[in-house]
């Protein structure tokens, strides 16, 4: 994965909402969720640390096809759970 830089050449990063022994949690309250840079970066970090990325969403949230594709590509790293 190639890390992107801002105009001042500072690497961007993302922090999860919570991190446990074998899981990284991200909580989103949105109507539709896409494969954002934040999710890709957290998935990469989870893979590097041999952890799983758990994304918690409301029941009414729709998952965009870009995120579905990312979940298939990363196999067992990303998991979606309802709040």
Cα separation, 37 vs 14, in Å, equals 9
Q: How far apart are CA 33 and CA 47, in angstroms?
A: 21
Share of the chain above pLDDT 90, in %: 78
User: Which of 26, 36, 37, 45 has the alpha carbon at shortest distance from 83?
Assistant: 26
Helix (H, G, I), strand (E, B) or coil at 42: helix
Work out the average pLDDT over 44-69. Answer: 96
Q: How much is the average pLDDT of 29-58? A: 95
- How many residues are recorded in the chain? 83
Tell me the pTM: 0.83
């Amino acid at each position: 994965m190639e890390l992107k830089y801002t105009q001042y050449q500072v690497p961007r990063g993302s922090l999860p909402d919570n991190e446990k022994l074998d899981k990284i949690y991200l909580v989103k309250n949105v109507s539709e969720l896409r494969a954002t840079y934040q999710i890709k970066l957290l998935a990469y970090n989870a893979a590097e640390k041999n952890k799983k990325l758990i994304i918690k969403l409301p029941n009414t949230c729709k998952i965009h096809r870009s995120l579905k594709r990312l979940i298939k590509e990363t196999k067992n790293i990303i998991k979606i759970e309802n709040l």
